[in-house]
Amino acid sequence: MAATVSRRIAIAGLVLLLAGALVAVGVAASGSEDDRADRPARPATSALATAAEAAPPEPPARRLVLVRCRDGVPASWVRRLRRSDAVEALAEGSRTQWLLRRSATAGGRVVDAAPAGYAFPLDTYVVDPRAYARVTRAAAFRRLRGGRVLLSASSARVRRLERGDRMTLTGGRTVRVAGVVPDGLARDAEVVAAAADVPVAGRRQPAVVVATRDPRAVARAVPDDRLTRVATLDPQATAATGGNSGVGSSPTTTAASHTTQAQS
């Protein structure tokens, strides 16, 4: 009898022990879930963010830099710039002056004509079309060739001319307008002409425009003195806001009405 009671007590104790263990497990599980709920969620790292961190930094922007000197850029500077690793493309440019006798539309209607014996002076920027197209990446310069010119935006507005119109110069020579470009690319000149149309003896103020991603390296490649000017060229600059024009360029805003005595 006593043995039977002892077994029953032992079994009851075992049952109570198992029940306590189950309760403890449940409480621990509940506490763990509560801890997870209270714990702040970790921000999810997106595949895009990971790719952005792994991607190499963006290269510096491609810029146009104008190099000029009071007496013209020497040929030795040009060679030095061509050898520079910072220069992606280079184009030489110079200036001249043409004299406009008459302008007309593609259909032949006269737009403007100077009085007899006089002509309108045209500040003209002279470039090698292919080289300048590589530097500026402007398609209009690929249309530039002998007998065809480009007008700056300000000049086209003042002269009331557009692509296809014609300009008759002193001596009877006629050139056709092949397009219109921003004043900045024309360096505030009225007309952009191909080098083939202008004899070397008639060119002045030689300068250089380079394409680079390191303007400071370009500046270091030429002498640092008061005669040298190295500046970023703004392709979209207008004559009214003051682009990087060449020394001695004439304002296009008054050129339409100004005439000079022409010599045939």
Domain boundaries, the chain: 63-261
Determine the pLDDT at residue 140: 96
Please name which of 243, 239, 249 lies closest in space to residue 231, comparing C-alpha atoms.
243
CA distances from residue 110 to 148, 163, 165, 182 in whole angstroms, order as listed: 19, 15, 10, 25
pLDDT at residue 232, as a whole number: 93
Compute the C-alpha angle 94/98/100, nearest 5°. Answer: 150
CA atoms of 104 and 197, how far apart (whole Å): 20
DSSP 64-95: EEEEEETT---HHHHHHHHH-TTEEEEEEEEE
Q: Please check whether residue 252 is in contact with residue 154, taking contact to mean a CB–CB distance below 8 angstroms.
A: yes
CB 89, CB 210: distance < 8 Å: yes
pLDDT for 247 equals 34
pLDDT tens across the length of the chain (264 residues)? 545 545 555 555 554 555 554 444 454 455 555 555 555 555 555 665 665 566 778 889 999 999 999 989 999 999 999 999 999 999 999 999 999 999 999 999 999 999 999 999 999 999 999 999 999 999 999 999 999 999 999 999 999 999 999 999 999 999 999 999 999 999 999 999 999 999 999 999 999 999 999 999 999 999 988 889 999 999 888 775 444 443 333 444 345 556 676 654
> Are the C-beta atoms of residues 190 and 153 closer than 8 Å to each other?
no
Structure tokens at 220: 């270091």
pLDDT at 258: 64
